[in-house]
Structure formats: C-alpha cells, structure tokens
Amino acid sequence: MMGTVSFPGLGLEFQLNRVAFHVGSWPVYWYGIIIAAGFLLAVFYCSRKAGQFGIRQDDIIDMLFFAVPLAIIGARLYYIIFYLDLFRREDGSLDFGAMVRIWDGGLAIYGGVIAAVLTLLVFCKVRKIKFLAFADLGVFGLLIGQLVGRWGNFVNIEAYGGPTDLPWRMGIYEYVGGALQYAEVHPTFLYESLWNLLGLILLAVIAQKWRKFDGQMFLSYFAWYGVGRGCIEGLRTDSLYFFNTTVRVSQVFGFATAAVAIVLLAVNLLRRPHDPEALWVNQVRKNARRVALVYPEGPDARKWLERQKKRLEREGAYVETYALPAGAAEETGELLAALEAREDLDQILKK
C-alpha cells in the first residue's frame, strides 16, 4: 500500500500510503476521501451559484440523489468495457468482485459525464426545468470534481505519462517486464488538474460577464476539457483503447466533442441574436414570487436577513433587501409606503 513519488527537478519526495486510516478492520482509502472532498466542494460552489442560472438549491440536492450513484456506475462501466481483460481471472472468467472495487481506481470520467447528462435530461423533463440552464451550472461542479479528484490518482500513483526530462518530471517505481524499475515521467494527473482549474476560472468569468444563451457554459466546458484531455491523453501510458487497436478512446472522444462544441458555440455566438429575456434565469425571475425584506441596520438583523433570504431563494422567490437607517422614522415610513404601493411585490417581510 506504500509508494514513493518524487519530483527530482523540484527537490520534492513523498511517501504515499493509499490507506488513510482504518475503521476497525475496514481500510478507508485516500482515493475515496479525495473524491468525496471534490464532490462536497462542487455541491457547495454550485449551491452558491444556483441563483445565477435560475436553479433552486433544492433541485440541485434532489438531482444529485439520482445523478451521483448513476455517474459512478457509468464511469465504472465505461472503464470496464474498454479494459475488460483486467477483470478476467486466469481461467478467462470474469471477476465481478474486482469490478465493484472502485476504491482500487478505475473510473473513466467520460462514462460518468454521459450518465450524469442523461440523468439530468430526465430530471429536468420531470421537474420542468430548462436542461441547458441546469447543465450550465452543472459543468462547474464537474470541473471542481475533476480538478480535485485527479489527486486521487496521485495517491494511487496512476494516470501518469511517458518518460520525460522536464524540470517538473515525476519519479516513480513501476514494473517493467516483471522487474521494479525507477522511471521519470510526465505527471499527467497534475496537468489535467491544473487545466481544469484554469477552465473553472475562465468559465466563471465568462458566466459572470459574457453569458449570452443557455447552454453556453455547457458547450464551453466540452470545448475546453475536450482539447485539454485530448492533448494530455496522448502523453499517458494507461489509456483506454478501442478494441484491439492503438486508438485512444478518450483522445478521440475529447477532440470530437471539442470540435462539435466549438462549432456550436461559434454558430450561437456569431450568427444568432440573443435576447437577455430568453435566458432561463430571467424567465424564472420574471415569474417568481417577489419578496421585499426590510430590516434595521445591525448584526442581529443581519442574521435574520441571511436566514430569510436563504429560505426564500431556496423556495424560488426573487428577494429584494432594504436596510432601514437608525432613527430615521420619516424615511422608514416613506420606504414602506413606496413598497406597499408596488404592484409587482407579492410580499413584504419586516424585521
């Protein structure tokens, strides 16, 4: 369970144990902990950004209840299909026990993405939510999960590339012809983690400033990730291949999805008019219950405001907030009168 990884050009060396700790006799692996951490960070980020896309936080939690287990199954099945020989016993029979031991590694991200997208399609159909708006939010969770999850490959000492003498090369011990040998290789897990981090930052800026249509972030994700994965996959030594060929599955899939996404982005951005009102978030806000929260300035009122705003936004309401200056009775009365006169407000809550 122990392994050594070094970065000789940087003067770094790590002694890695795949097992973080034991619960009784049951080992808890770092791979699972890292995947769980990426999942929690993705849920936290998407929950904070849900309102930007017109999605309720409750819908995120409900969707994940179905999407997470199905995505794990999809990622594992994708890996098993293209690496079936790894799960055969010496007599040629299939080892189903090995197939379910996902903590040993062996999850293919594209299988998980396909399963998650199909789950989201069905979920949005049932809940009457615009799929592309939800998908725009979801890709941020994917990027976070991927950039964190790749460090599980680091602990497992897997998903690395071929030989290199670059300054950031990674030193590992691997079996070659049955003998354990030292090799210096591309840290491709690190390349992909950094690529996803850069993509997360880039897409977050685009979503904040230049998002023109629902589906733009969804397509941008496939364009960005597809190009990066296609290039990085060419460096790896553990790629999944199409049956009995030297064609790398993830490289073909990455470049193909990137090409399609780039064409669709170009068509939508350059040749189609964009009405801000057509965005799902603006449709939701237009039709949502509008609530004004009026509160006096002060720390206690701030806590009340945060609780009420969180509750109302979770219910899908559009919230406006108004602070009342201390000792300004006349201004307070004028504000309340103005709010009560508004026909577009459904409710006024006052602390």
pLDDT of 65 higher than 90:
yes
The predicted pLDDT at position 117 comes to 94
Whole domain around residue 336: which residue ranges?
Answer: 288-350
Mean pLDDT of 141-166: 93
pLDDT of 314 higher than 80:
no
- Higher-confidence residue: 60 or 243? 60
pLDDT in tens, 235-279: 998 877 877 778 898 899 999 999 999 999 999 999 888 888 889
The predicted pLDDT at position 257 comes to 96
Please check whether residue 241 lies inside any domain of the structure: no
Does residue 36 share a domain with residue 182? yes
Does residue 154 share a domain with residue 16? yes
The predicted pLDDT at position 47 comes to 93
Does residue 188 share a domain with residue 56? yes
The predicted pLDDT at position 222 comes to 97
Does residue 176 share a domain with residue 51? yes
pLDDT of 123 higher than 70:
yes
Out of 157, 178, 205, pick the residue that ends a domain: 205
In this prediction, residue 327 has a pLDDT band, given cuts at 50, 70 and 90, of: low
pLDDT of 130 higher than 80:
yes
Phi first, then psi: give them for residue 279, nearest 5 degrees: -65, 140
The predicted pLDDT at position 5 comes to 94
Does residue 140 share a domain with residue 11? yes
Mean pLDDT of 46-74: 92
Does residue 194 share a domain with residue 46? yes
- Residue ranges for the known binding site are 150
Please check whether residue 271 lies inside any domain of the structure: no
Please check whether residue 245 lies inside any domain of the structure: no
> Comparing 117-126, 145-154, 205-214, 334-343, which segment has the lowest mean pLDDT?
334-343
pLDDT of 22 higher than 70:
yes
Please check whether residue 251 lies inside any domain of the structure: no
Please check whether residue 127 lies inside any domain of the structure: yes
- Higher-confidence residue: 280 or 241? 280
The predicted pLDDT at position 1 comes to 63
Mean pLDDT of 8-25: 92
The predicted pLDDT at position 263 comes to 97
In this prediction, residue 177 has a pLDDT band, given cuts at 50, 70 and 90, of: low
The predicted pLDDT at position 258 comes to 97
Three-state secondary structure of the chain: CEEEEEECCCCEEEEEECEEEEECCEEEEHHHHHHHHHHHHHHHHHHHHHHHHCCCHHHHHHHHHHHHHHHHHHHHHHHHHHCHHHHECCCCCECHHHHHCHHHCCCCHHHHHHHHHHHHHHHHHHHCCCHHHHHHHHHHHHHHHHHHHHHHHHHHCCCCECECCCCCCEEEEEEECCEEEEEEECCHHHHHHHHHHHHHHHHHHHHHHCCCCCCHHHHHHHHHHHHHHHHHHCCECCCCECCCCCCEHHHHHHHHHHHHHHHHHHHHHHCCCCCHHHCHHHHHHHHCCEEEEEEECCHHHHHHHHHHHHHHHHCCCEEEEEEECCCCHHHHHHHHHHHHHCCCCCEEEEC
The predicted pLDDT at position 134 comes to 98
Please check whether residue 235 lies inside any domain of the structure: no
Does residue 161 share a domain with residue 29? yes
pLDDT of 349 higher than 70:
yes
Mean pLDDT of 106-121: 90
Out of 171, 205, 239, pick the residue that ends a domain: 205
Out of 161, 178, 205, pick the residue that ends a domain: 205
Please check whether residue 213 lies inside any domain of the structure: no
Q: Give the Cα separation of 194 and 184 in Å (integer).
A: 20
The tally of domains found in the chain comes to 2
Please check whether residue 104 lies inside any domain of the structure: yes
In this prediction, residue 176 has a pLDDT band, given cuts at 50, 70 and 90, of: low
